[in-house]
Structures are given as C-alpha cells and as structure tokens.
Amino acid sequence: MDSPEKPQIYLITPPSFELGQFPDQLAKVLDSTDVACLRLDLASRDEDTLSRAADALREVTHARDVAIVISDHQILAERLGLDGVHLTDSARSVRATRKAMGADTIVGSFCGASNHDGISAAEAGADYVSFGPVGTSGLGDGAIADLDLFKWWSEMIEVPMVAEGGLTEDLVRTVSPFTDFFGVGDEIWRDENPVAALQRLTAAMS
C-alpha cells in the first residue's frame, strides 16, 4: 500500500484585515510554506472593499503561482480575474455557477458535516468539497465533521475534499491520512507569528 500523499494547505483570509499590512503578511506566509490556494473570505459584502482586497491579494498570490478564490461572489471573481469561487450554500448553486463560469474556473462548495450535500455538490460539478468544522468553531451550523466522514469520502469519492474549522495539531494529525487539503485561517492569523503557526500545523501532517 502506498502511503497517502501529504495534504496540501488551502489558506483562508481573516474576516477583516488592514489592506496596508495584510498583503505583506500573506506574502511571508506564502514564501515560507507551499500553499495550493487562497480563499478571500471577508465578512464585508461591500463590493468596493472586496474588490480592493481581491486586487491586492491577487497580485501576491499570482506572483507565486497560488490560485485565489472568493467566497460566494461569482461576478467579482470574473470581473477581477480571480481563479474561482467558494460557495457556502452547500450544493444549491454549484450547477448554475459551474454553467455560468465555465469548466476552467475553480468552483468549491462548503457542505458542513453533510455527506449528502457533499455528494450532491460533487455530482453538480464542484472541483472540491469542504467539510467542517473539524474542531470547535463557529463555522457552519457548528455540527462537527467527524473522522468517519473523511474516511468514507477518501475511500469512495474522487472529488478532493478540504477539512476546515477549529483545527489543532492533534486534529491535523488524526485527519491527515483522509483529506486532500486543510483549510487554515484563524488558526494562524490570530497567532503573533502566522508563519510559525502554519509550520506547526504542516509539521503535524507528516
């Protein structure tokens, strides 16, 4: 049996940040650790705020060959030249979004702790499905995505999955053999040294 490949890091921005500081902080993190994708996940729904943030972060990510997606904002994703969109309504809008954005765009779907929603999203054309929270977190409705969900999905479904929400080093160690990506956000941004915090989590994967 081949040992499973180590999961990749799928980075998630804080819900708000200083545009004068965060892009530099992000650049340091991306330069320290291999990251597959960044999700712009602001609490704000103001288009101007989102657009300025997306422009600044796209420059940082694309300079390093890292994909960038935005939560729930298909129009801005297309207008600003982002790589795709992360949908937070389970599987409901995956099919319509895929049709509107085309085959070359990343369309991801957050499905909480629901295997059924995950399968629906995969069948509707999602490039990845995100489950969580894995630990204690305010993500989704708070229902924990347990290890059995990741085990079953990794054995039965080919669409990649992201484990996110409330990650600790112990949880990363436990889930690591059964997920393709870890969605890492507040776990590192609330730390004084995000680079070191991320390196601790990635070390727990091996």
**What is the DSSP-derived secondary structure letter of residue 128?**
E
Q: Per-residue pLDDT for 95 more than 60?
A: yes
Is residue 2 one of the residues assigned to a domain?
no
Across the range 50-57, mean pLDDT stands at 98
Is residue 1 one of the residues assigned to a domain?
no
Confidence tier at 2 by pLDDT (50, 70, 90): very low
Residue 175 and residue 148: Cα distance in Å, rounded?
10
119 versus 90: which is more confidently predicted?
119
Packing angle, helices 22-32 and 194-203, rounded to 10: 30
Q: Per-residue pLDDT for 87 more than 90?
A: yes
Is residue 3 one of the residues assigned to a domain?
no
Percent of the chain surpassing pLDDT 70: 98
In the chain, the number of structural domains is 1
Is residue 190 one of the residues assigned to a domain?
yes
Parent domain of 176: 8-203
CATH of the domain at 27: 3.20.20.70
Across the range 54-66, mean pLDDT stands at 98
Q: What pLDDT shows up at residue 4?
A: 54
Using CA atoms, how far residue 66 sits from 50, 82, 168, in Å, is 19, 11, 24
Q: Per-residue pLDDT for 1 more than 60?
A: no
Is residue 167 one of the residues assigned to a domain?
yes
Across the range 91-119, mean pLDDT stands at 96
Packing angle, helices 47-62 and 22-32, rounded to 10: 30
Residue 92 and residue 150: Cα distance in Å, rounded?
21
Q: What pLDDT shows up at residue 117?
A: 96
Percent of the chain surpassing pLDDT 90: 93
Is residue 13 one of the residues assigned to a domain?
yes
Across the range 167-190, mean pLDDT stands at 97
Q: What share of the chain is helix, strand, coil (3-state, %, to 5)?
A: 40, 15, 40
Task: Kindly compute the dihedral angle of the four CA atoms of residues 79, 24, 61, 39, in this order, to the nearest 10 degrees.
Answer: -70
Is residue 34 one of the residues assigned to a domain?
yes
Q: Per-residue pLDDT for 108 more than 80?
A: yes
Q: Per-residue pLDDT for 25 more than 80?
A: yes
Average pLDDT taken over every residue of the chain: 95
